[in-house]
Chains A and B, each alone.
Chain A
């Protein structure tokens, strides 16, 4: 029998893939706890323990809101994708998909849908806990717009980097063992867990190469009063630079993805 009927459209297969990716994520208890709840636990734990005043009436939970959302975005995109795609490559899932008539674009659309859903869920839960438990002030007016584009650009850069990094690991366990400490270190030196001006100068310079610092800084512009911009390295939020650096990392990430992505395990070629 010949296939006289048309193959399903990219849009239709992409919808199927998005459904598959959402089920794969939300049904796996480890990934939900690790990715979705870890930032919440951080917020509850550090928010309850650390109780100092940063000036201008800003307490630690208000400051930490920006950092923990940055950590949540990195977890939902970079860490999540690097670990799970490495797993799908080592257990043959990717190879099976590559041998099917699924348009390859649909696979990546599915992953993006997963990142969007997990990112929105993480941010939603963090904001809810922040308001209900710590009484943090939500952004107002134009800050929401900044919130939206910083999140979008940061998540896009980290999604592309996550897909690229997955190719370096042998399997999901080695991906986790590599990516998790790197993400934590970047978060530490990027002012996620403590005020950025308390990070030593040379570490600030190191952090400034990577996207996490700029993502956190852009989010601080959203959650902190403008009076605190004076404590940033440049004395301002540098939103233009945030956009340029995150945009550059998107381009770098895309290039790395195209150059490194493999549908089969190493050694099987």
Chain B
């Protein structure tokens, strides 16, 4: 799937619809004609190297920054003109987190909930993010992973239709990251649309329905994770051990090749492996081409 053609109208049904977005800092265009549609109900991962315009794009959608050109609609509203009612439909988990506080986890959640029309129950949210045991703890006594889960709790307590997650798992250990992924999946089941930015390609592959790669202020490609960069049809590398040596063959028809191999060996093919390019391989190729 290619990025939307320039000049196509904004998609009124999309959670986020962007056409020709431009943002300059001084002479430099950080975002330079970006088009993007994010459907309602999907998890969309935005990938890209630092400085490619990821955070700028997301913060324009969140209403934090002005744009210099193009059209943006978030839940049908221009973020530059979004009021309280529009903000009540968003959940925002910032990269910087929510800051220090003397309040307990439950007090923070209750205060945040009171800004919304139809918030979730604080205890229900604590259960969802696995912080029930820490409800009475002050923010500053939490570990890094617990603080991030608190940030997510604050982001979802308002029952958002659209949730922004900016590098939510930076600094997590592998176990905390897996727990976090389970949390995101349970939110998807509740129907929340999510825009995720991350540096972890395994995270994007694990969670996202579609991924988009930003390079030099434009969307290089949008695809399902398994098809990005022609991954699904790219030649596979088959490797095995034969006569004491490691053998590798690149082939567009790995299934047929493995069947031939199987016929040549009496039992198992020694050390057989079939490898497709990883998301990381195609990602690095894509941003390498562009930068």
Query: A12's contact among B103, B114, B159, by CB below 8 Å, is which?
Result: B114
- Near A by CB (< 8 A), chain B positions 84-106 give 84-85, 87-90, 92, 94, 96-103
Query: B102's contact among A6, A13, A27, A95, by CB below 8 Å, is which?
Result: A27
- On whether A101 and B115 interact (CB within 8 A), knowing A1-B161, A92-B96, the answer reads yes
Q: From A106, which residue of chain B is reached at the shortest CB distance?
A: B115
Q: When A and B form their complex, what is the total count of cross-chain residue pairs whose Cβ atoms lie within 8 Å?
A: 93
Q: Name the B residues within 8 Å of A87 (CB-CB).
A: 100
Q: Name the A residues within 8 Å of B88 (CB-CB).
A: 3, 7, 101
Is there contact, CB below 8 Å, between A28 and B102? yes
Is there contact, CB below 8 Å, between A7 and B103? no
Q: Name the B residues within 8 Å of A23 (CB-CB).
A: 102-103, 107
- Near A by CB (< 8 A), chain B positions 10-27 give none
Is there contact, CB below 8 Å, between B94 and A269? no
Q: Name the B residues within 8 Å of A13 (CB-CB).
A: 114-115
Tell me, yes or no, whether A93 is within 8 Å of chain B by CB: yes
Is there contact, CB below 8 Å, between A101 and B114? no
Q: Name the B residues within 8 Å of A1 (CB-CB).
A: 118, 159, 161, 191
Interface residues on A, range: 20 to 34
Tell me, yes or no, whether A88 is within 8 Å of chain B by CB: yes
- Near B by CB (< 8 A), chain A positions 1-47 give 1-8, 12-13, 16-17, 19-20, 23-24, 27-28
Is there contact, CB below 8 Å, between A8 and B101? no
Tell me, yes or no, whether B63 is within 8 Å of chain A by CB: yes
Q: Name the B residues within 8 Å of A96 (CB-CB).
A: 92, 94, 98-99, 154
- On whether A5 and B118 interact (CB within 8 A), knowing A96-B92, A100-B87, the answer reads yes
- On whether A99 and B98 interact (CB within 8 A), knowing A23-B103, A24-B103, the answer reads no
Residues on A facing B (Cβ under 8 Å): 1-8, 12-13, 16-17, 19-20, 23-24, 27-28, 87-88, 91-93, 95-96, 98-103, 264, 268-269
Can you give 20 A-B contacts (C-beta < 8 A)? A1-B118, A1-B161, A3-B117, A8-B114, A8-B115, A13-B115, A16-B111, A16-B114, A16-B115, A17-B111, A20-B111, A27-B102, A91-B99, A95-B96, A96-B92, A100-B92, A101-B115, A101-B116, A103-B84, A269-B65
